[in-house]
Chain A
Amino acid sequence: MMTYKISPDLQLRMRSAATTQPLRIIVRHRQPTAFMSAAAHALRAGEIAIRRQYRLVSATALEIPAAHLDTLVQDDTVEYIWPDLPVHTCLDVSVPRIRAPQVWNLGLRGEGIRIAILDTGIDPQHPDFAGRIAAITSFVGGDGSDDNGHGTHVAGIAAGSGAVSNGRFRGVAPEASLYVAKVLDANGDGLMSNVMAGIEWAVTQEVHVINLSLGGDTPGDGSDALSTLCDQVVRQLGIVICVAAGNNGPANSTIGAPGVARRVITVGAADDTDHVAQFSSRGPTLDGRLKPDIVFPGTGIVSARAANARVGRPIQPHYAELSGTSMATPHATGAVALLLQANPNLKPEDVKRALLGGALDLNEMPTAQGSGRGDVLGAYQRAMRPIPTQLEEADTENWWGSLRRLLGNIG
C-alpha cells in the first residue's frame, strides 16, 4: 500500500479497525475534475458512500469500509487521505459560552465552595485537581479511584483547574473543593441505594452542591426513594443538587430518577450550535411536571481524563472527549458554586431561580430546553439582586415564551 498517501493518524486508526468497519475519510483529488476511477465500481456498488463534495478544495468526504481503503490509495486521481475527525467543544469553548470567565473576573472561582461529585470516582493524581480533593470514599468497593473515567471527566468540567493544559481546559469553578463518592462501578453502573448512601455521606461532609451525572432509564414521577431523598436534602438541608436529565431523547417523558425530583436542578444538553441535543431526555415527568429545568453544553466536551479511563476519546494524555447530559450537568454545578460564593445567603430555590431566569431562551420546546441554555453571568446578575418575595416577571418570561410556543403547537 502507498502509505505516503495516507495521513499518519488514519494509518493508526486502520491498524485497530476491523476490515468491515466503516471509516469516515476526506480524500483530496489531484485535479479539480478528477474523480476516483479505480473506486468507481465500489461507488456504484454502494460500498463507498459519498457524504460531501467540496468546491473550494478538490476533495470529497466519504464513508468506506476499511478493506476498501487500498482501492482508493491505488487510484491515481487520489492525492491524499485524512480521517474525517469529529469536532469537539473543549472546555475552553463551552465555559466561555456560558460566560463563566466574566464571573471569574469578579474574583469568583468557587473558592470555599464544597462540591460533591457522586460518580465513578476520580483520578486523585490528575494535576488539574491538585490540593483540592478534600475527601474520597466509595460505596461500590475500592478506594474511590476512578476505574472508568466518567467521574474524573465530570469533576474536570465542574472544577478542573486546567493545570496540565496551561488553563485551557479549565472547569467552571476551578478553585472549588471536591468531595468525591464512588457510587458507580467500573462499567459506570450502580444502584439507587448506592447513590442514596453517597448523598447521605455528602451531607455529612457539609457540601454546598451535589452533582449527579447519573440516573435510571425508567421514566418517573418523582415518588421513588432516590428522588424523594434528593428533594428532602434540598428542602430541609439547603443543599443544591444538579442532576442529569438523561440521554434517552428525543422522545417525550424520558427522564428517569432522580432527574424527575421536584427540587433538584435537572439539566439537559445543548450542542455546539445552541440547540438541544437530540439525545437529551425530554419531559414532562410522568406526573405531568415540566422538566428538564435548563440545558448546558453537553456534546463533545473535552475535560480531564483519568489514567485508567475506559470511556471517552483521548485528546491528550490528560484530557478526553465525552458527550451526554452527564457533561452538561457539571457545567450547572460549577455555575451554582460561583453563585454561592458570590452570595452565600442564597437558598436552593434562589439559586434555581437565578439560573433559570438568567438562561438564554433557545426557542425550543420547554420539555426539551427547560428555561433555556444556562448563562452564568446572567444568573450571577439575578443572584446578586435583593431576594424577591415572589417570582419576578423577568424570571418567568422564558417560561411564558416557551409555554406560548407549546400552546401554539397544540393549537
Chain B
Amino acid sequence: MIRFEEYLAQMCDGEVIMEKMAPALHQKLGASPDSIVALIVRTDGDPARYLPRLAELGFAVGHQFRLLPGVSVRGRARAALSLLDEAWVLRIEEDHPVAAM
C-alpha cells in the first residue's frame, strides 16, 4: 500500500504514473558512478528544505522550482543513486539539453 500523497506524487498531470527514475538512467548512472551528471530532482514540497541534504551529498544546486517543486543539481552519479532512498525525492531525471529549433 502506498500513501495517498505518494500516489498523488506519482501522478503526472493526472494521467501518467511516474517512476522515481527511468531504468535507462539508473543503468547509466550505475555504469559510471563517478561521472558528473546534471539532474532535475522533483521534491515533495518546497525544495529549500532539502538544500542542506543535497549539499551534504555533494550536489551543487542550480535552480529551485516552486510551481513544480524541485531543483536542478549537478553531482556524482553515485550520489544521484543514493537520492532514491530519500523519502522526499519524488522523481529524478536528466537535465536534458534543449536547443533553438
Task: List residues of A whose CB falls within 8 A of some B CB.
Answer: 119-120, 139, 148, 150, 184, 188-197, 199-200, 203, 213-218, 221-226, 228-229, 231-233, 235, 237, 244-247, 257, 262-263, 287, 311, 324-326, 329
Most buried by B among A184, A216, A223, A257: A223
In the complex, the answer to whether A191 meets B72 with C-beta atoms within 8 Å is: yes
In the complex, the answer to whether B97 meets A200 with C-beta atoms within 8 Å is: no
In the complex, the answer to whether A119 meets B100 with C-beta atoms within 8 Å is: yes
In the complex, the answer to whether B65 meets A200 with C-beta atoms within 8 Å is: yes
Chain B, residues 84-98, CB within 8 Å of chain A (1/0): the string is 000000010101111
In the complex, the answer to whether B63 meets A196 with C-beta atoms within 8 Å is: yes
Distance (whole angstroms) from the CB of A225 to the closest CB of chain B = 5
In the complex, the answer to whether A229 meets B67 with C-beta atoms within 8 Å is: yes
A311 to B18, CA, bound (A): 39
Distance (whole angstroms) from the CB of A191 to the closest CB of chain B = 5
Instruction: Please name all residues of chain B whose beta carbon is closer than 8 Å to the beta carbon of A217 when the two chains form the complex.
Output: 97, 99
Instruction: Please name all residues of chain A whose beta carbon is closer than 8 Å to the beta carbon of B93 when the two chains form the complex.
Output: 224-225
Distance (whole angstroms) from the CB of B24 to the closest CB of chain A = 11
Closest 7 CB pairs of A and B: A193-B72, A188-B100, A326-B101, A244-B101, A197-B63, A150-B100, A229-B68
In the complex, the answer to whether B42 meets A184 with C-beta atoms within 8 Å is: no
Distance (whole angstroms) from the CB of A328 to the closest CB of chain B = 9
Given the contacts A192-B40, A215-B101, A325-B101, A262 and B15 also touching, CB distance less than 8 Å: yes
A191 to B62, CA, bound (A): 11
In the complex, the answer to whether A326 meets B100 with C-beta atoms within 8 Å is: yes
B47 interface hit (Cβ, 8 Å): no
Select which of A139, A195, A196, A231 is within 8 A of B13 by beta carbon: A231
Select which of B13, B15, B40, B91 is within 8 A of A193 by beta carbon: B40
Distance (whole angstroms) from the CB of A330 to the closest CB of chain B = 11
Closest to A148 in B: B100
Complex interface residues of chain B between 49 and 94 (CB less than 8 A to chain A) = 62-63, 65-68, 70, 72, 91, 93
